[in-house]
C-alpha cells in the first residue's frame, strides 16, 4: 500500500509538470509575444546605399541608426535618449502619406537618418569593441522599446545634432522657415564649449567657385562678407557674401562649415571663418545629452530638457 501511494504521488507530479509545460508555458510565451507585438510588427522600408529597398523591423533598424548617429561610448542614458529621438523621427516618417510613394520610408544618410549595418559596425569599431558597443546600443533600444515623443497629440520633429558649442540651442524658426513650440532656445547642457572649434580659409578664387559666382575674381573687400542679422543666441541668421544674400543655414551648407556660430576676418586675399560647435543647433545636442547623462539625468529628463513641453508615450 505504501509503495502504491508513492507511485500515485509521482504520477500526480508528472501530470502537473505536463500541464505546466503544455499549457502554462506556451500561454506565457504567447502573452509575451502579444506584449511585444506593437513594435515588433512594425516594418520600415530602408533605401540602402546600392539603391535596393529592404524592410527591417523598426527596433532592429534603430540599432543601426544609433550606431551611426551617436558615439557608442556615450553614457547609456544618452544612447537611450538618442534611440527615442530616432524612433520618433522614424514613426513620424511612417505616419506621413507621401504622394507619389517613393517606395521607401528612410534612407541611410543624413537626408533622413544615418544608418549602418552590422558589417559596417564591425569595420567602424573592430571585432573586439563591436561586441561591447553593439550590446550597449541594443540595450539602449530595448530599454526604451516603443517609446516616442509627442506634442499636442502628434509625433514631434525630433531634430538632433552633434554640439551646440559655446551657445544655447536654436529655435526652429531662426534656422528654417517654420516654428515648433518644443524647438526653442535651451541650454546645451555641454560642459566643454570649445570641444569643436574649426577654422576655414577661402581665397577669392576658392570662394567664387564654391558659391558659383561667375563674375571675374578679384581681391576681397570688407563688403564681400557682411553679417546682416543674428539669432537670439548670436549665431549668423542672414549674411551677404560677394553681393548675394544667404541664410546662415544656406551658407553653412554651401561652404561646408561646421556651424553658424562664426567669427569672420576679411583680408584682400583671404576670408577666414572660425566656427564653434557642430551641426544646425536645433533640438537635442548629442554631446549635451551625454554631459547631462554624466551628471545623473535619465533619458526621459534629457528629452524633456531639449524638447520642452513634450510627452513621452508608447508607440501605438
User: Are 175 and 245 within one domain?
Assistant: no
Residues 37-72 have pLDDT tens digits of 345 579 999 999 999 999 999 999 999 999 999 999
User: Are 208 and 97 within one domain?
Assistant: no
User: Are 101 and 177 within one domain?
Assistant: yes
Name the nearest CA neighbour of 191 among 291, 70, 77, 305: 291
Residues 191-238 have pLDDT tens digits of 999 999 999 999 999 999 999 999 999 999 999 999 999 999 999 999
User: Are 227 and 99 within one domain?
Assistant: no
User: Are 213 and 73 within one domain?
Assistant: no
Q: What is the extent of the structural domain holding 210?
A: 197-276
List of residues 6+ apart from 130 with CB closer than 8 A = 121, 122
Residue 61 maps to a domain: yes
User: Are 91 and 171 within one domain?
Assistant: yes
Distance set, CA 242 to CA 158, 201, 247, 275, 284 (Å): 35, 15, 14, 20, 33
Residues 233-281 have pLDDT tens digits of 999 999 999 999 999 999 999 999 999 999 999 999 999 999 999 999 9
Q: How far is residue 279's CA from residue 277's CA, in Å, rounded to a whole number?
A: 7
User: Are 155 and 292 within one domain?
Assistant: yes
Can you state the percent helix, strand and coil of the chain, rounding each to 5? 45, 20, 35
Q: What is the number of domains present in the chain?
A: 2
User: Are 70 and 84 within one domain?
Assistant: yes
CA 113, chain centre distance (Å) = 7
Q: For the whole model, what pTM was predicted?
A: 0.85
CA 24, chain centre distance (Å) = 42
User: Are 296 and 167 within one domain?
Assistant: yes
Residue 68 maps to a domain: yes
Residue 25 maps to a domain: no
User: Are 175 and 268 within one domain?
Assistant: no
Amino acid at each position: 500500500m505504501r509503495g502504491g501511494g508513492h507511485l500515485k504521488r509521482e504520477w500526480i507530479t508528472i501530470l502537473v509538470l505536463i500541464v505546466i509545460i503544455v499549457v502554462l508555458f506556451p500561454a506565457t510565451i504567447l502573452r509575451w509575444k502579444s506584449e511585444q507585438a506593437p513594435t515588433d510588427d512594425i516594418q520600415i522600408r530602408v533605401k540602402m546605399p546600392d539603391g535596393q529597398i529592404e524592410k527591417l523591423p523598426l527596433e532592429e533598424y534603430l540599432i543601426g541608426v544609433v550606431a551611426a548617429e551617436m558615439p557608442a561610448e556615450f553614457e547609456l542614458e544618452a544612447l537611450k535618449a538618442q534611440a527615442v529621438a530616432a524612433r520618433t523621427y522614424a514613426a513620424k516618417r511612417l505616419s506621413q502619406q507621401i504622394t507619389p510613394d517613393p517606395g521607401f520610408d528612410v534612407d541611410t544618410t543624413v537626408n533622413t537618418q544615418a544608418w549602418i549595418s552590422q558589417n559596417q559596425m564591425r569595420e567602424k569599431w573592430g571585432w573586439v569593441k563591436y561586441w561591447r558597443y553593439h550590446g550597449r546600443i541594443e540595450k539602449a533600444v530595448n530599454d526604451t522599446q516603443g517609446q516616442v515623443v509627442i506634442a499636442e497629440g502628434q509625433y514631434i520633429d525630433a531634430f538632433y545634432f552633434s554640439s551646440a558649442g559655446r551657445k544655447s540651442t536654436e529655435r526652429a524658426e531662426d534656422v528654417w522657415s517654420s516654428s515648433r513650440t518644443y524647438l526653442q532656445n535651451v541650454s546645451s547642457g555641454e560642459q566643454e564649449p570649445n570641444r569643436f572649434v574649426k577654422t576655414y580659409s577661402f581665397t577669392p578664387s576658392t570662394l567664387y567657385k564654391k558659391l558659383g559666382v561667375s563674375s571675374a575674381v578679384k581681391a576681397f573687400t570688407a563688403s564681400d562678407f557682411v553679417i546682416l542679422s543674428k539669432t537670439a543666441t548670436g549665431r549668423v541668421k542672414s549674411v551677404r557674401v560677394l553681393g548675394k544674400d544667404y541664410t546662415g543655414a544656406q551658407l553653412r551648407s554651401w561652404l561646408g562649415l561646421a556651424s553658424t556660430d562664426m567669427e569672420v576676418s576679411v583680408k584682400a586675399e583671404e576670408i577666414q571663418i572660425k566656427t564653434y560647435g557642430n551641426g544646425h543647433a536645433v533640438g537635442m545636442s548629442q554631446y549635451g545629452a551625454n554631459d547631462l547623462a554624466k551628471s545623473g539625468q535619465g533619458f526621459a529628463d534629457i528629452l524633456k530638457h531639449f524638447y520642452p513641453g513634450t510627452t513621452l508615450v508608447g508607440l501605438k
